[in-house]
Amino acid sequence: MKPDRYAVVGNPIGHSLSPSIHALFAAQTNQAMVYEARLGRPGHFAEDVRDWFRNGLHGLNVTVPFKEEAFRLADHRTARAQRAGAVNTLWAEADGTLTGDNTDGAGFLRDLSARMGLDPANRKILILGAGGATRGLLEPLLHAAPARLVIANRTPERALELVASFAGLAGATHLEASGLDTIPDGPYDLLINATAAGLGKDALNLPPGLLAATGLAYDLVYGPASRPFLDWARQQGAARVSDGLGMLVEQAAESFAAWRGIRPDTGPVLREIRQTLEAP
């Protein structure tokens, strides 16, 4: 029997770790599938994706810069994709229509709680950035009932918009917006960098005292792009820092589970991917 076909689309896509991650999941769970990287063509995304599924593709991951286009393309969307306003996972239904899901937020929460051992309940959390990445985190984070959740953004209006659209999910959480220069006093238990990847060293210019002595600093991106923020956090005395590689593996596992109905063990896969990434 021919293996089922999956892919990830983005632009650029050359350095994507998703093919390696899914190959490890497939081997671990004995799934007959192949997974490859495909370069997306700006302006032709929808037509290309429809073509790929017509030609037998089973499922697709979508990465930068196509997640919003994938959201518009999907015929049906899961509730969490609807909330996120973006789709990173697509699959074809029996009638050929496409369902869009978003596994980023769930992947982040799982990495945070299962690997880092941080339960957001009653904690104080600061998110830097108010773009698509932040939007994807808000529903699962609010669901976990932190005491306070501040969204700080260079353009404060975007943070305010997010607060307005998620206010209904805040429950007892104090949800608020600020500019980067008007961040309410810390200390915060969790500081998340969700601004654009690879900001220069002084780009954020954050005040001291934001992080609690036991605090965790988490950058959603991984590898060298996460270094300036994580170095800054270490200088600030962060008890722990993490890049976003665990989130990448966990969101992949969520996609894999949606496609295959089986959840891979992410621990060994994360270790192997980390070794590959750090190999000289």
Considering the rule CB under 6 A, would residue 130 count as an interface residue with ligand ATR?
A: yes
Considering the rule CB under 6 A, would residue 160 count as an interface residue with ligand ATR?
A: no
Q: How far apart are the C-alpha atoms of 205 and 229, rounded to whole Å?
A: 10
CB of 200 vs ligand ATR, minimal distance in Å: 7
Of 40, 105, 120, 132, which one interacts with ligand ATR (CB under 6 A)? 132
* Residue among 206, 234, 235, 202 nearest 218 (CA): 234
Considering the rule CB under 6 A, would residue 203 count as an interface residue with ligand ATR?
A: yes
Considering the rule CB under 6 A, would residue 33 count as an interface residue with ligand ATR?
A: no
Give residue number: closest CB to ligand ATR.
131
CB of 122 vs ligand ATR, minimal distance in Å: 26
Q: Which is nearer to ligand ATR, 67 or 124 (CB)?
A: 67
| Interface stretch with ligand ATR, choices 117-125, 161-169, 198-206, 245-253 (CB under 6 A) | 198-206
Considering the rule CB under 6 A, would residue 227 count as an interface residue with ligand ATR?
A: no
| Interface stretch with ligand ATR, choices 25-33, 34-42, 43-51, 147-155 (CB under 6 A) | 147-155
| Interface stretch with ligand ATR, choices 33-41, 138-146, 188-196, 241-249 (CB under 6 A) | 188-196
Q: How far apart are the C-alpha atoms of 107 and 124, rounded to whole Å?
A: 20
Of 158, 227, 240, 274, which one interacts with ligand ATR (CB under 6 A)? 158
Considering the rule CB under 6 A, would residue 196 count as an interface residue with ligand ATR?
A: yes
Considering the rule CB under 6 A, would residue 252 count as an interface residue with ligand ATR?
A: no
Q: Which is nearer to ligand ATR, 204 or 257 (CB)?
A: 204
Residue with tokens 């966990």: 250
CB of 198 vs ligand ATR, minimal distance in Å: 10
Phi, psi dihedral angles at 7 (to 5 degrees): -155, 165
Q: Which is nearer to ligand ATR, 116 or 203 (CB)?
A: 203
Considering the rule CB under 6 A, would residue 131 count as an interface residue with ligand ATR?
A: yes
Considering the rule CB under 6 A, would residue 133 count as an interface residue with ligand ATR?
A: yes
Q: Is 201 a catalytic residue?
A: no
Number of residues that bind ligand ATR (CB under 6 A): 15
Residue by residue, what is the 3-state secondary structure of the chain?
CCCEEEEEEECCCCCCCHHHHHHHHHHHHCCCEEEEEEECCCCCHHHHHHHHHHCCEEEEEECCCCHHHHHHHCCEECHHHHHHCCCCEEEECCCCCEEEECCHHHHHHHHHHHHCCCCCCCCEEEEECCCHHHHHHHHHHHHCCCCEEEEEECCHHHHHHHHHHHHHHCCCCEEEEEECCCCCCCCEEEEEECCCCCCCCCCCCCCCCCEEEEEEEEECCCHHHHHHHHHHHHHCCCCEEECCHHHHHHHHHHHHHHHHCCCCCHHHHHHHHHHHHHCC
Q: How far apart are the C-alpha atoms of 180 and 203, rounded to whole Å?
A: 11
User: Which one is catalytic: 2, 67, 124, 201?
Assistant: 67
Binding positions for ligand ATR, rule: CB under 6 A:
129-133, 153-155, 158, 194-196, 199, 203-204
Q: Residues with catalytic annotation?
A: 67
